[in-house]
Amino acid sequence: MRILVFGGTGEAIDLANGLVRQGHQVTTSLAGRTRKPRLPNGHIHKGGFGGTQGLVDFISRNGFEMIIDATHAFAATMSTHIVDACIELNKPMLRLTREAWQAGVDDNWQHVSSIESAAKELPTGAHVLVTVGRQHIEPLVLCENCKVFVRAIEHPEIILPPHVTVILERPPFRLSDELAFMREHEITHLVTKNAGGDQTAAKLEAARMVGAKVIMIERPLLPEAPEVYSVDAALEFVADHSASAA
């Protein structure tokens, strides 16, 4: 089958590679926000589409038979366009996402809906680890009465004030390293998005162990779509659909 995978996650790479091994013709679409992304096997499309209608045209023009949304859980606009385009074209689709993190009984979480809301929760004198990516972080880095550590894969494209330190690292992260960092820098608050998954979950356990408050930015609501939580489940979904179509 000709399959279009919307990427941006490690799972999208693993899925595309698995589909190629199964003999499918796979194109992975990347938004282009990461300058040096890891690339999967198969074809690559970089850049936008021009909204839902542009996506409809792209899918039709290339003859894709199945669409898989494996974007980040916070890519709400793209996920909405994907669902709308598949409905218009009557194309089968699947969403591959990570299960959201859940607070345990010993966790100290504050649930918020945006980065702006997260910034308002930071008290004067806080030592903050920010792990929300490199984009749209202005409200957090403008908290001048806090010591802010921004961790990202690539450096933010804005000028940062002196109280902000950038740490360039790529997951996965080990609990021992997260714990050592939080203790060394006396982290009192962790600001993160509820991305889910295992590769970055150690920071949540480390925050609990040092008594840091977690300001959790919750996921946006997405339109309803068939959904799985693992690459293996996605590969099985495609195999079943391919067999039934044959």
Q: List the domain boundaries for the chain.
A: 2-97+229-245, 109-217
Torsion angle in degrees (nearest 10) through CA of 137, 142, 148, 149? 30
Q: Mind listing the pLDDT tens digit for each residue in 130-153? A: 999 998 899 999 999 999 999 999
Report the amino acid identity of residue 83. V
Q: Mind listing the pLDDT tens digit for each residue in 168-198? A: 999 999 999 999 999 999 999 999 999 999 9
Q: Stretch 27-37: mean pLDDT, rounded?
A: 77
The average confidence (pLDDT) of the chain is: 94
pLDDT at residue 38, rounded to an integer: 78
Residue appearing with tokens 């929300």 = 132
pLDDT band at 35 (very low <50, low <70, confident <90, very high): low
Cβ-Cβ contacts under 8 Å for 187 (sequence gap 6 or more): 127, 128, 129, 149, 181, 207, 210, 212
CATH class of 2-97+229-245: alpha beta
Is-same-fold flag (2-97+229-245; 109-217)? yes
DSSP code, position 186:
T
Domain 109-217 fold is Rossmann fold (3.40.50)
Query: Cα–Cα distances in Å, from 234 out to 12, 26, 161, 203, 238?
Result: 10, 14, 43, 27, 6
pTM comes to: 0.89
